[in-house]
Structure 1
Amino acid sequence: MSDDTIRLATVGRMLRRRWRLLAVLTLVGALVGYGVSVVFPPRYTATASVLLPGQWEQRELLTQVDIATSSVVVDRTAAALGWSGVDGEELRKQVAASAADGNIIKISGAADTPERAQRLSDVLARQFVTFAARISGGSTDSDTEAEALRQQVVQTNRRISELSKAADPGRSVESVQARTSLERLRTTLEKAMEKLDQADPANNKADLVVMGPAARPVGQTPPTRLHFIAAGAVLFFLLAVIGHLTVARANRRLRTGPEIAAALGSALLGTVDVPEEANVGRSPGRGPLVRMSRLLGTDTRWDVPPPQRSGDDADRSIRYRRVRARLRDQLPPNSGLLVLVPDEDPVADRAAGQLVAEATKEPDGAAPALRVVKIAVGRPTVPDREAESGALVVLGAGNWTAEDLSGIADACADSSHDLVGVVVAGTVRGRPARTSTAAPGDDSTPAPLPVSGTGSTGGTKKPARASGSTTGAAK
């Protein structure tokens, strides 16, 4: 597991190097979303509004919402619609109700066409109003009974008045008591009628009213087909990005020279630079899978940091000469050295070739003779020891794990080769070769420098200076 923090630069590098693959996966996600939208047919939702006049508490509004979607109302709606194959149980999944501001109940119905959705909402609203009026006592029979009771009370009051007038107008005790009892009866009846009027819901709350037919929906209810396509594309894109970052986080390849040397159990002799090439690291072959991999950009690693800029060939050769110098110090003269290079590491292969090329510039016997041998990291096999004094491992940075390098070390021990060191090669961006002056350490003869007192400038003398020098000499 890599301990490196995933930064925005890493994400940006992944997007630049894997944009083709991400684009293809995003397209695949959009196609998957389209396929899912086919499974789920389009839905249209229409809404009807029912007004509840009068004063209503919040809990009473919630009760009306529950009544609107109750099984009784939905079953009556299904019977009124008469749709084949649609019963109350299935219809209950397609209706909904909610309480809005202003004592309004919003009743919604969903269907596969706008016409069916509109009709479902209208029929459900009417069935709700009819059922709510029946259970609240607001029917015509109840109104008739209440009106008849009021007429009887009025007649009773009139009769009480007549009895009060017909009583003995004298001041006898019996007449006074009779009139007093009649007035008490009148007062009791009036209070009873007041309470009846207050308890009658028809006086405080009028009947529920449907506020017109539901509007026919003009668009589909989310999620639409476009939503499914967009969700599939975004989902696949995010999964691809997270997958790349997870793989990079779980990468156990060693990148630094000390880590590689510690895994091999040897010393780090140095790091060398290899100029970047366009096709380095790409999968060989010409099959359709290889071409597809190259087209998508998956034939090269994306988590490798961009190569740093370096000097020209002369500057890079200094690092190789330093490695050769360290080998001369460790090995006896006229000795041989086995150079082990993984067969799937083109950067290390080029570095080993450059190391051998630098050896040809040195006098015979000045440094150990190098013999390059390619090995398979998965199951490495090192040739038996002959005239070599040891083995040198050349590896590319960030390509191998500690287990891979441990296998190389075991193969060297099995073949009786002592590991004299490891050289780590890294890719760099080159600079154009120098043309004006010779590079340091080049085999070409440098231009002569001016010598004091001779008048030499390293080039053709000017005529004036030549004339002055001749005159001075004559004097």
Structure 2
Amino acid sequence: MSDDTIRLVTIGRMLRRRWRLLTVVAVLGAVVGYGTSLLFPPRYTTSASVLLPGQWEERELLTQAEIATSSVVVDRAASTLGWPGVSGGELRDRVSAKAADGNIIKISGTADTPERARQLSDQVAQQFITFAARLAGDNTDPESAAGPEDLRKMVTQTNRRITDLAEAADPGRTVESVQARTELAKLRTALQEAVKKLDEADPTTNRANMVVMGPAARPTGEAAPTRTQFIVAGALLFFLIAVIGHLAAARASRRPRTAPEIAAALGSTLLGTVDVPGERGAHRPEGRGPRSRIRRLLGLDIRWDLPTPRTSGDEASRQLRYRRVCAHLRDQLPGPRRLLVVVPEGDEVARRAAGQLVAEAEGDPSPASSSRAYPMLRVVGISVSQPMVPDRGTESGALVVLSAGSRTAEELADVAEACADAGHEVVGTVVVGTVRARPARSAGPPRDAATPALTVRGHAPGGSV
């Protein structure tokens, strides 16, 4: 498990090197989103507003909103609409109500067509008003309702009695009669105002007078989630899954990244690290066929988690590293020997470095008969999935050359086991890194760095490689 912190530069590098794959994944997600939208028919939503006159508390408005979406109201609306195959239970999932400012209940209806959505909202609002008015009348206490009604009857009788007294009084002949008629008129006016205030204060009368504030508007667009939202959501979801999958795979990678870890996985000694100037396609493994073409097209043939190559020194400094590796190899061996340079197939960076090592060994300034001469090297490529190394013949030992972070510990152990099966001792490991080359300095004639022809495959008693 890699403990490296995932930084923005890592995500940016992944987007640059895997943009083709991420684009294909996003398009695939959009197609899946489009297919999902076909399973959900388009929906249209509109609202009808119902005004509740009078003074209402907030909890009372919430109660009225619950009543508007109750099964009684919705079932009556479904019965009135009479849509084939649509019951009240189905409509309850399509109807909602909420209390708005100003004692207004907004009733929303959702249907498969704009016209049906408008009809549903209007019908539910109408049934709500009817049911609320009936509910207000049915819930009135008989004893509390009898008091105001008896009072009205008494006021009516009193008005009649006042009229009779006024007619019986002497019509304006005396001062007393005029005063009596004036007092009776004031009493009648006061009684009429009292009855009017009583009617206005009656909650049953006020709260039963709910009104619909116009018909519901015809919806002009689909309700969420629309087909476009499904497509965008599918593309975004698949894109995020691909990004998270790449990051999770990088975190869980078991590939040794440092030179000591690689040498420990091979069970050998680290002879050193060398650099190879980065080239376009240097990390691309060779391969033909439809599968290889698809991998190259999607950018899967190169590692995305490899860091950007750093800038190295000049050609002379890089050649010095190769000479030091050859010197370490010479010092470690008891005498001049022939060695196999084992390179995993598909690791082009390691193959270029192995060729440079062979060139340095052949250009040894020491005499060939000297015990201090460089060993003679021959490069062989092996398959990591089924490693097979030539049996021991003229060569007696193996030098493993590979790039950092290219193989897992299990694969490296298989390579070491294949070398042991062929009778070769892994005398050392060379780890190769990619760098950005600087322009060569004019300090002297550059050493010939031509890469000789490499032995990629050969036949040996142990099998073909």
**TM above 0.5:** yes
Change (3 A) 1:316 1:155: closer
Structure 1: distance between partners of 2:34 and 2:47: 28
Distance 1:195 1:51 in 2: 22
Taking structure 1 as the reference length, the TM-score comes to 0.79
Alignment check: 8 A CA contact 1:331 1:389 kept: no
CA distance in 1, matches of 2:338, 2:266: 21
How far did residue 394 of structure 1 move?
A: 1.2
Any residues of structure 2 matched to 1:199-218 within 5 Å, and which?
200-202=202-204, 205=207, 207-218=209-220
Question: Within 1, Cα distance between the matches of 2:84 and 2:127?
Answer: 19
Aligned to 2:166: none
Answering whether residue 56 of structure 2 is matched by residue 56 of structure 1, we say yes
1:66-90, Cα deviation, whole Å (9 max, x unpaired): 2111111111111211222212111
Query: Larger deviation: 28-37 or 388-397?
Result: 388-397
Does the CA-based 8 Å contact 1:138-1:202 persist in structure 2? no
TM-score by length of 2: 0.80
Any conservation in 2 of the 1:311–1:431 contact (CA below 8 Å)?
Answer: yes
Q: Quick check: 2:50–2:106 contact (8 Å CA) kept in 1? A: yes
Deviation of 1:34 (Å): 1.7
Query: Deviations along 1:366-412, whole A, 9 cap, x unmatched?
Result: 22222323333233333333454532211211111111222222333
Q: Could you report, residue by residue, the CA deviation over 1:263-317 in whole angstroms, capped at 9, with x for unpaired residues?
A: 1222111111122222323243443332222222112111111222223433221
- Alpha-carbon contact 2:286-2:346 (below 8 Å) kept: no
Which residue in 2 is equivalent to 1:65?
Answer: 65
**Is the contact between residue 384 and residue 416 of structure 1 (CA under 8 Å) also seen in structure 2?**
yes
Per the alignment, residue 97 of structure 1 pairs with 97
| Count of aligned pairs | 413
Structure 1 stretch 319-328 or stretch 413-422: which is displaced more?
413-422
Q: How far 1:341 moved relative to its partner?
A: 1.8
- Structure 2 match to 1:364: 368
Counterpart of 2:421 in structure 1 is 414
2:444 aligned residue: 438
Aligned-partner residue type, residue 88 of structure 2: G
Q: Name the residue aligned to 2:330.
A: 328
CA distance in 2, matches of 1:133, 1:420: 98
Q: Give matches, 1:273-422, under 5 Å.
A: 273-362=275-364, 363-365=367-369, 366-422=373-429
Instruction: Give the 3-state SS of the residue equivalent to 1:137 in structure 2.
Output: helix
Shifted more, 247-256 versus 285-294: the winner is: 285-294
Tell me, yes or no, if the aligned pair for 1:340 and 1:394 is still in contact at 8 Å: yes
Supply the AA of the counterpart residue of 1:278.
R
CA RMSD of aligned residues (A): 3.2
Alpha-carbon distance in 2 for matches of 1:267, 1:245: 32
Gaps of 5+ in 2: 163-194, 450-465
| Map of 2:169 onto structure 1 | none
Deviation per residue, 1:160-212 (Å, 9 max, x gap): 99xxxxxxxxxxxxxxxxxxxxxxxxxxxxxxx99987984235545111111
Q: Distance in 2 between matches of 1:383 and 1:321?
A: 26
- State the identity as a percent: 65
Instruction: Tell me if structure 2 keeps the 8 A contact 1:45–1:221.
Output: yes
Q: Give the Cα separation in 2 of the matches to 1:377 and 1:18.
A: 24
Alpha-carbon offset, residue 7 of structure 1? 0.7
* Higher gyration radius (CA): 1
* Distance in 2 separating the partners of 1:57 and 1:147: 24
Secondary structure at the residue paired with 1:403?
helix
Cross-structure match for 1:176: none
Q: Provide the rounded CA distance (Å) in 1 between the counterparts of 2:336 and 2:92.
A: 94
Query: For residues 75 and 334 of structure 1, do their structure 2 counterparts lie closer, same or farther at Cα, with a shift above 3 Å needed?
Result: closer
**Partner of 1:149 in structure 2?**
150
Aligned to 1:264: 266
Look up the SS of the partner of 1:339 in the other structure. Answer: strand
C-alpha separation between the residues in 2 aligned to 1:156 and 1:284?
112
Amino acid at match of 1:245: L
Per the TM alignment, residue 234 of structure 1 is displaced from its structure 2 partner at its CA by 1.0
CA distance in 1, matches of 2:355, 2:448: 19
Q: In the alignment, residue 334 of structure 1 is paired with which amino acid?
A: P
